[in-house]
Structure 1
Amino acid sequence: MPNVLRNRAAVAALVLVSVAVAGCTGETPGTPTPTPGTSPSSASSVAPEDPNVPKVANPLDASAFVGDVCKLLPDAAAADLGFTAPGEPKDESSNPGCSWGIRGKADSLLIILGSGNREKGMGGLAGLHKAKKAGQLRFLEPGPDVDGYPTVYYGIQDRRAGGNCDLAVGVADDLTVNTLAGGYDNEQDSCGTAQKLASAVIKTLKGA
């Protein structure tokens, strides 16, 4: 895997791990919440406590993809985004993921399913907002709805101007799918690709 893609995956994993742990110790506080997997739970019907966090009107079930996140982006959809090589499963955090790269180019894609954050009670866009308030994220900004689902741009810092875009889409009130596009020339290309990636994932979830 190209170094650029490896670095992007490591940064994304670090950000998502920070949402689910206390401080920077790397220790998970307590035990996971008793709601396993990623099927929509009763929490999905409860409005987020933070009024700035949009509610997900039509939660999606991602449980079938916890074991293979790469299936969230079908080969044809990946090819439409310019990626023809198979995705590579990622295991850098408690949240499973999959990455795509292009040989000889810096362009990269990464999908992270926030099932680990959900099990720890820090899932969904609400979890990212909590992490921002706690100082674990320095950057969090509302993004455009994608196919009717709310999003945020997030990160340890805002790197969009450098062609790296980290987008989290709330597919349930307690679950996000994070779509990252890196190695592009500018913010428009990277964030446009991240949004298209999110749309492809939502289409897959709706068809599951």
Structure 2
Amino acid sequence: MTDPIADTSAVESEPCAAIPGAEIESIAGKVKRTRAEDMTAGKACTWVFELSPTTVNAGLVMGNKDGLSAIYAQHASGSLTTFKPVEPIDGYPAVVYANGGEGKGNCTLAVGVRDDLVYHVIPRLSSEHPSYSDPCGLAAKVAAAAIKHLKKS
């Protein structure tokens, strides 16, 4: 990786700090509430939008020390139902993947911010959301905003 993001400590402890409120709203719509959640592999932020039941969950996956390589290994072992490398996001490699749960308005995007760390973005969009037909496009915009802020910290 050519430009790994070394210091991610601010977002590790405060995952919602990855993207300012006005910026997430310009990408995905009016936010009703935001909550940080302890996930099995690290803290994530869930933005709940007024256009219910739309949510976007995003955060660094601290429990995965193999970065994107772990997702490629899952694919190689045949344990994923979706696996699609996508255009790099702000120069960082990315993949859309799933192990079930695919469906309209859903996407799971992982971006390798360094060799041992990925940033996940998981939109779950209602059918009324403007990005319903392209949830991975929305995920890419959210990831790009987070990477921009991670690089500044």
Residue number in structure 1 paired with 2:134: 189
Contact 1:164 1:184 in 2 (8 A): no
**Alignment of 1:73 onto 2:9:** no
Determine helix, strand or coil for the equivalent of 1:137. Answer: coil
Q: CA RMSD in A?
A: 2.0
Q: 1:63 to 1:158 in 2, by over 3 A?
A: same
Cα-to-partner distance string for 1:86-107 (whole Å, 9 max, x where unaligned): 4211113132111011245122
Q: 1:192 to 1:130 in 2, by over 3 A?
A: same
Determine helix, strand or coil for the equivalent of 2:4. Answer: coil
Residue number in structure 1 paired with 2:117: 175
**TM-score, structure 1 normalization:** 0.65
**Alignment of 1:87 onto 2:34:** yes
What fraction of aligned residue pairs are identical, expressed as a percent?
32
Distance in 2, matches of 1:109 and 1:62, equals 20
Distance in 1, matches of 2:48 and 2:41, equals 22
Distance in 2, matches of 1:93 and 1:100, equals 18
2:58 to 111, 130, 138: 111
Structure in which a larger fraction of residues adopt helix: 1
Determine helix, strand or coil for the equivalent of 2:13. Answer: coil
Distance in 2, matches of 1:165 and 1:75, equals 21
Contact 1:139 1:158 in 2 (8 A): no
Code of the aligned partner of 2:15: V
Code of the aligned partner of 2:40: S
Residue number in structure 2 paired with 1:124: 67
**TM-score, structure 2 normalization:** 0.86
Structure in which a larger fraction of residues adopt strand: 2
Larger Rg: 1
Residue number in structure 1 paired with 2:8: 62
Which residues of structure 2 form unaligned runs of 5+? Answer: none
**Alignment of 1:152 onto 2:95:** yes
Q: CA deviation at 1:135?
A: 4.1
Code of the aligned partner of 1:138: T
Code of the aligned partner of 2:12: V
Which residues of structure 1 form unaligned runs of 5+? Answer: 1-55
Distance in 1, matches of 2:15 and 2:47, equals 12
